[in-house]
Structure 1
Amino acid sequence: MKHRFAYLLAITLVLGAGAAAAQQSREDCERDFRPRSGQPGKDVIWVPTGDETVSAMLKMAGVTPRDLVVDLGAGDGKIAIAAAKEFGARARGIEYNPDMVKLAQCYAVVEGVADKVDIQQGDIFESDFSDATVVTMYLLPSLNLQLRSTLLDMKPGTRVVSHSFDMDDWEADETYGEGYHQAYLWIVPAKVAGRWDFVQVDGEERFTVELEQSFQKLSGTVALGGTSQPLTQARVRGDEIVLEFTGADGRSHTLTGTVGAAGIEAARDGVKFRATRS
């Protein structure tokens, strides 16, 4: 009987502790540290992004439960928590201030997403976030530019969203709002500059495309039928590439394809081609 009583008591204590944790509030999280808008940080002052802008940023990026969202300079974890709570994504925040890290982790518990949100203490310029499918940030123009080369080296198709600040001559693919509520979206483009030799998969047609690239913008020439001429349109969005040109028959043709490690798999008017860079 004593053993049964002790067992029931232990179960009661465990359930009681769980209920207490479930009833934890944001005010409880702020007992030891309460952030204030405008407080100084390592590289920027902390100013929280508004709820509407946070939701808009994540919607622009098309966040789904399949994504890993990494928020650079996570602050109180607001964006990471919203990604998990509103969109079902896994999220990681990288924040330099250890007090903010502790606070953000506590908020994640309160919001019921501690299993999906990981807030890490670290320097965004030294941390590895190459596994992210979505990167969010609210930094400064100079810091965006410092990160730009790292972002461009990420997997093609990675979505990058910035609150308020752009990336200079890397033009955004989409924008939202204006002023303080403005947000920018970029889709990391595949690197496709160079000479590409296209070969028909089940045939003998061959042609060569020379591409020049400035971020997602492309220009170049196509050599076919013994002549070389400019591409009339060329663009890359993530790993998707579209090339438009006038064929030897004098008609306009559109070649659409996917860029991969082995080259480009493409089709034009239902005819399949493979291309390798030479």
Structure 2
Amino acid sequence: MRLHRSACVALLYGICLTIAHGAAFARDRQECERLYQPAVGQEGKDVIWVPTDDDLVTRMLEMAQTTSSDLVIDLGAGDGKIPIAAAKQFGATAVGIEYNPDMVRLAQCYAEAEGVADKVRIIHGDIFEEDFSRATVLTLYLLPDLNIRLRPKILEMRPGTRVVSHSFLMGDWEPDDESRVNYGEAYLWIVPAKVQGQWVFTDADGRDAFTLELEQKYQKISGSVTMNGRRQPLTDAALRGEDIRLTFADAGGQLLTVQGKVNGEEMRLATGTREGSRRYVGKRSSS
């Protein structure tokens, strides 16, 4: 195939532009580091700065099952490594909250260098004052006492929000999952729905079905069911975010497992049996 001279010139020009763009891209991070270069272990407002291992960052975001529909918020974002990875590897929108203004500028510069500035925003702020309630995935690498200080606010987030911490736990709130990568540990929590109290259930025809009493400590639940005037304990109960599963004996003494979702003051449950599916709607009782 023969190319016209003008086509050859255009092709060579395009190749040169591509090479130049690649070189500029490589220089971008270097330019960021000329603006500011943090030292590992440097003091911050609440913690010292130690960057998370790249493989552990990826694992943390995998544990949270991060997708392009998520909003990832990183508390104490440092150089922006976690928000950038969330955007670049998982397509998520990400926000980092960082108190050091030099680190904020560095992290945003890195986001631009990595080509994800349209998805990543690093804000200058205090993690104890900024509103991070919109996050669907929350990441943090702080200290145990800081995690515990943040815990009440985290528990008020939308049920189902995934929270991943590097190295440190949340006091007596046990993680739902944990993982170890390159000598680093990550812990996952799913913010549980608030289910403690009494729930009154009706069946699909609107008739009274049973009353449910639940006790709750974080995602751990237990309780009892009252059906036809007979009260008996739940034989199994599990809560993961807004998803709930309960097992108890029905009026005939047969074990019945129901599962469904909690939505504020309403709980919808269903079960499949040999006779077909049964559906129940529960309302939280004020008594």
TM surpasses 0.5: yes
Q: How far is the alpha carbon of 1:26 from its aligned partner? A: 1.3
TM alignment of 1:163-174, pairs within 5 A: 163-174=166-177
Matched with 1:196 is 199
Within the alignment, does 1:274 sit opposite 2:281 as a pair?
yes
Matched with 1:211 is 214
The answer to whether the 8 Å contact 1:202/1:272 transfers is: no
Q: How far is the alpha carbon of 1:25 from its aligned partner? A: 2.2
Amino acid at match of 1:188: V
TM alignment of 1:6-155, pairs within 5 A: 22=25, 24-155=27-158
Matched with 1:8 is none
Instruction: Please provide the CA RMSD for this pair.
Output: 1.7
Matched with 2:189 is 186
Q: Report Cα offsets for 1:100-137 as digits up to 9, x if no partner.
A: 00000000011000000000000000000111000000
User: Which stretch shows the higher mean deviation, 23-32 or 53-62?
Assistant: 23-32
**Structure 2 Cα separation of the partners of residues 52 and 164 of structure 1:** 14
Matched with 2:12 is none
Q: Figure out how many residues of one structure are paired with residues of the other and give that number.
A: 262
Q: 2:244 aligns with which of 216, 220, 241?
A: 241
Q: How far is the alpha carbon of 1:95 from its aligned partner? A: 0.2
Q: Report Cα offsets for 1:5-24 as digits up to 9, x if no partner.
A: xxxxxxxxxx9xx9596564
Q: Report Cα offsets for 1:28-80 as digits up to 9, x if no partner.
A: 10112101110100000000000110000000000000000000000000000
The answer to whether the 8 Å contact 1:211/1:218 transfers is: yes
Which consecutive unaligned segments of at least 5 residues does structure 2 have?
1-16
Q: TM-score, normalised by structure 2?
A: 0.88
**Structure 2 Cα separation of the partners of residues 197 and 113 of structure 1:** 49
Q: How far is the alpha carbon of 1:257 from its aligned partner? A: 1.3
**Structure 2 Cα separation of the partners of residues 192 and 262 of structure 1:** 9
**Structure 2 Cα separation of the partners of residues 250 and 113 of structure 1:** 58
User: Which stretch shows the higher mean deviation, 51-60 or 263-272?
Assistant: 263-272
Q: How far is the alpha carbon of 1:246 from its aligned partner? A: 1.3
Q: How far is the alpha carbon of 1:199 from its aligned partner? A: 0.3
Amino acid at match of 2:150: L
**Structure 1 Cα separation of the partners of residues 237 and 167 of structure 2:** 29
User: Which stretch shows the higher mean deviation, 86-95 or 218-227?
Assistant: 218-227
The answer to whether the 8 Å contact 2:56/2:182 transfers is: no
**Structure 1 residue runs of 4+, over 2 Å off?**
18-25, 202-205
**Structure 2 Cα separation of the partners of residues 21 and 122 of structure 1:** 31
**Structure 1 Cα separation of the partners of residues 35 and 280 of structure 2:** 62
**Structure 2 Cα separation of the partners of residues 112 and 139 of structure 1:** 27
**Structure 1 Cα separation of the partners of residues 129 and 35 of structure 2:** 28
Q: 1:261 to 1:227 in 2, by over 3 A?
A: same
Q: Report Cα offsets for 1:210-246 as digits up to 9, x if no partner.
A: 0000000001110012210111111211111111111
